[in-house]
Structure 1
Amino acid sequence: MYFPINFIFLFTLSPFWVPSIALKLDSTDPVPSPWPHQFHATTIMNYTGGLRKVDLWYDWPNKRYLHINQYQLGKKLYDVEWQNGTSFYFTLDSTQECTVRHFPVGILRPNWLEGANYLGQRYKDGFLCNVWEKIDFLQYYEDVATQIPVYWHFHDGLIEHIITFEVGKVLEDSKWQAPAYCFKEMEKGKITLQDRKVEDHSLLASFHDRRFKSDN
C-alpha cells in the first residue's frame, strides 16, 4: 500500500536531483590561472608560415605590454602597447621604421581568461595541460602541474609555444620608450595615429590585432 506512494515521491523529486548533480560536476572544472601582474616570457610563434621568436614583457601595474619580435633570418620589430590604446611598432636599426596605431581598448587584464570554456586535458609539447577556449577565438593550454601557460592556438591559424616564463621579472623603464623619430615623423604628418576598426571591440580581439598583425 505504501510502495506506490514512495515510488511517486522519488519519481517526483528526481528531476530536481539531476540538475543539482550536474551543477556540482560543472563547478569542479578547473579555471585558468590569472596572469601574474608582471612577467617575462619567451615564445616561438608561427603565423601564415612565418616563424618568429618573441620576448614578451607584461607589466600590469604600469599598464604596458611589450613584444620584441625577432623574425626568422629577418628584422627585429618592437611593439610597445599602452593602456590608452596606443601601440608603437618600430625598429632600432638604421632603417628607423616606425608605425603608430590606436586601438579601441587597452592591454589585456590579468583575469582576461575568466569565463573561458573548459575543454578537458590534453598533452601538448610533452606537458599534460588543462585546455580552455575563449569565445571561439583562442585555445589556451596551461600546464596542470605548474599552472604556467604552454601553448596558444588562435582560430585563424596562429600558434605560439611558450619556451620560458619568469614571474615577477620587470624590464627597466628606458626599454619601453619609443624612439624619438616616431614622434618626429608624427609631427611632420608622415605617421599618423590609425584608428584600426576591430569588429569585436573586446580586449581579446585587440590583443590579436595588436600582436599578430603588426607586420601588416
Structure 2
Amino acid sequence: MASATALDPVCVFLLLLPLFLQLSPLMAEEPVPCPATWPDQFHSVLFINRSSSLQKVDLWYDWPNGRNFNIIQHQLGVLTYDLEWDNGTSFYYTLHPFNTTCKVVHFDVGILRPNWLDGATFLGHKNVDNFLCNVWEKADFITYYEDVLTQRPVMWVFSSGMVAHVMTFEVGAVLEDTNWQAPVYCFSETDTSSSLLESSIDVSHGTLIRGIPHTAA
C-alpha cells in the first residue's frame, strides 16, 4: 500500500482559514457593559422583602430639586412617609388616619447622584424575575440588576439583606411640589416620634436612596 502523501502546511492553512474567520467574532472577548445613568427624575413602584416583612414603596426621585420620596405601605399595616433631602435631612412621618407622628434624622450624605453606579464592579449576567440582567456590585453596599435590553433596573439586593423588586419605572414622572412638604408637627420643638413610628420605620431604610459614602462627594 502506498504511503499517504503529507499535506502541504500552506494548503492546510488555506483550508482552515474560512473556519477561523467564522469563529473569530465568537472568540472575541465580550466588552464589559456600563450601567445606565439614572434619569434626573422618575417614579418607581418597588416591592421590598425585609426577611420578616413586606413593603410596597412608591419611589419619587427628583435630582434637580435635591429630593427623594419613599411612600411606604407595610403589609396590612401603617402607611409611612420617608422624605429625603440632599442636605442630609430626612423626615419619617405618618398622617391621618394613623397617629400623626414624625421623626427627623440627619445623615452625613445626600441622596444618590444619577451617576452613582460609576465604578461599580461588573459581575456578569443573571436571569432575574424573567429578565436577563447585567449585574453590578457597588461598594459592598448593593448588588444591582439591570435589564440587558432596556437598561431599566430590575432588582436591588442590599448588604443588609433587603431585596427590592422593581415593578414600574416611569422616566420623567414628577410628584407635584405640594406633596413634598413635611407636616407642621415635624417642626415642633416637642418630640413627635412614637412607638408606632419606631416600629414601622427602620431608619436604615433611609439608605435605600441615600448616597453611598464612597460616591457622595
- TM-score (norm: length of structure 1): 0.75
Alpha-carbon distance in structure 2 between the residues aligned to 1:155 and 1:58: 22
1:155, distance to aligned residue in structure 2 (A)? 2.1
> Quick check: 1:182 aligned with 2:213?
no
Looking at CA atoms only, which structure, 1 or 2, has the larger radius of gyration? 2
**What count of residue pairs does the alignment treat as equivalent?**
172
**Residue 48 (structure 1) aligned with residue 56 (structure 2):** no
Corresponding letter in the other structure for 1:157: G
The C-alpha deviation readout for 1:21-77, integer Å capped at 9, x for no partner, is xxx958x20011011000000000011320000000000000000000000000000
Amino acid at match of 1:134: K
- Normalized per residue, the structure richer in helix is 1
Q: Give the equivalent residue in structure 2 for 1:120.
A: 124
Consecutive unaligned residues of structure 1, counting only runs of 5 or more, are: 1-23, 197-201, 208-216
Please list every run of at least 4 consecutive aligned residues from structure 1 whose deviation after the TM superposition is greater than 6 angstroms.
none
2:64 corresponds in structure 1 to 61
Equivalent residue in structure 1 for 2:211, among 187, 195, 203: 203
The letter of the residue matching 1:164 is T
Q: Is the 8 A contact 1:91 1:97 kept in 2?
A: yes
1:77 to 80, 83, 96: 80
Q: 1:50 to 1:205 in 2, by over 3 A?
A: farther
Structure 1 position 205, deviation (Å):
5.7
Q: Check conservation: 1:42, 1:163, Cα contact below 8 A.
A: yes
Contact 2:54 2:74 in 1 (8 A): yes
- Secondary structure of 1:181 counterpart: helix
* RMSD (Å), alpha carbons: 2.2
Q: 2:169 aligns with which of 126, 144, 165?
A: 165
Percent identity, aligned pairs only, is 55
* Contact in 2 for aligned 1:41/1:57 (Cα 8 Å): yes
Distance (Å, rounded) in 1 between the aligned partners of 2:119 and 2:75:
35
Q: Any gaps of 5 or more consecutive residues in structure 2?
A: 1-27, 194-202, 204-209
**TM-score after normalising by structure 2:** 0.75
What SS does the corresponding residue of 2:186 show, helix, strand or coil?
Answer: helix
1:34 aligns to 2:37 (yes or no): yes
TM superposition shift of 1:85: 0.4
Tell me, yes or no, if the aligned pair for 1:103 and 1:206 is still in contact at 8 Å.
no
